[in-house]
Amino acid sequence: MMSLVRDVLDKRLLDRDNCLLGRVDGIVLEMPEGRQPRMVRLEMGGEILAVRVARWLVRPTRWLRRSFGPMREARVKIGWKHVKRMGRDLHLDLAADDTSALAWEYWIADHIVARIPGGKST
């Protein structure tokens, strides 16, 4: 029997090439009446994590995302069907670039790191 909090929440997500996408911040379940709950998807995102840490962090996190960030969507959604192996990490059958999970990393590389002397890759 799987414990969702212990076995899924906060686990690292690795794509099919073992590229780190981030950690699972939220779990979405479907609760059909009269049937067993069903895992629908995993979610990642600052606002989801902020809700778990301290609700007052949601507003500043949302403001940062809308004002500076590359993503207009608050969360990265990964269907449970893409989880292929569980253990210390959750292994997915997706490539990192098939998701928006690395959007912040790319944005930081382009807008901040590239402006540092020696930070631009050739």
What is the residue-level pLDDT of the chain in tens, covering all 122 positions?
Answer: 568 778 898 999 999 999 999 999 999 999 999 999 889 999 988 788 878 888 898 898 888 877 776 666 678 899 999 999 999 999 999 998 888 888 877 888 888 888 888 877 65
> What's this model's pTM, rounded to 2 decimal places?
0.76
pLDDT confidence of residue 107: 80
* CB distance 78 to 98 below 8 Å: no
The token pair that represents 22 in the structure block: 């981030």
Bridge-based pairing of strands 89-92 and 12-14 is parallel
Q: Is the dihedral of CA 63, 99, 54, 109 positive or negative?
A: negative
pLDDT confidence of residue 79: 93
Closest CA relative to residue 30, chosen from 19, 14, 18, 41: 41
pLDDT confidence of residue 122: 54
pLDDT confidence of residue 105: 79
pLDDT confidence of residue 121: 64
